[in-house]
Amino acid sequence: MKLVVGLGNPGEKYIATRHNAGFMVVDALAKRYDIGIDKVKNKSLTGKGIIAGDQVIIAKPQTFMNLSGEAVKPLFSYIDINAEDVIVIHDDLDLDFGRIKIKSGGGHGGHNGIRSIISHLGKKDFIRVRVGIGKPPPRWNVSNYVLSPFAADEREELHHILEKSADAAEAIIADGSLTAMNRFN
């Protein structure tokens, strides 16, 4: 079994923001496999289904980003899986807009959602699908940038980027992280 977690912030005002890229990707992935993400479990909206022959739970933590670990830890414990069976999809300021990078393990890279998950799990060796949102323009506050909606020109490409990110998550499930890294990084 795999746990696929998309990071974001709950609430209507955050739906189309850069910080919710993880939510958007898991929504795209769930739609492909007709998995409803509509059950509330352990501070998350969850859905269960089969992807590439593996049973998966898709989760969207309903804590704010900085508290993501509070939702991921109980799901992780409930499912009783290894950290390598957890795939976390999140926005990344350090990647150009639209770039996708798969990473296995490592630090939080300044991302507060990842920091919270590492802190609560006590493990770093889960898999991440990093979705590039680019750096803020000069004089922009980082928090304001990640909580702002995508620009008009970015929205034109967004669907393709979300689908490609969902492809990456699907490849991890089907072929393992190393093969997926070779294909997408």
Average pLDDT over residues 18-45: 97
Q: Among this protein's residues, is 19 annotated catalytic?
A: yes
**Structural domain of residue 9, as residue ranges?**
2-184
Domain CATH number, residue 101:
3.40.50.1470
Q: For 26-46, what is the mean pLDDT?
A: 97
pLDDT of res. 127: 98
Give dist(CA 61, CA 41) in Å, integer. Answer: 9
Structure confidence at residue 114 (pLDDT): 98
The pLDDT assigned to 23 comes to: 98
Name the pLDDT band for 27 (thresholds 50, 70, 90): very high
Residue of 19, 90, 111, 120 with catalytic role: 19
Using alpha carbons only, give the angle 131, 134, 139 rounded to the nearest 5 degrees: 145
Which are the contacts of 162, defined by CB distance < 8 A and separation ≥ 6? 21, 24, 25, 28, 131
Number of domains composing the chain: 1
Residue-wise pLDDT for 120-141, tens only, equals 999 999 999 999 999 999 999 9
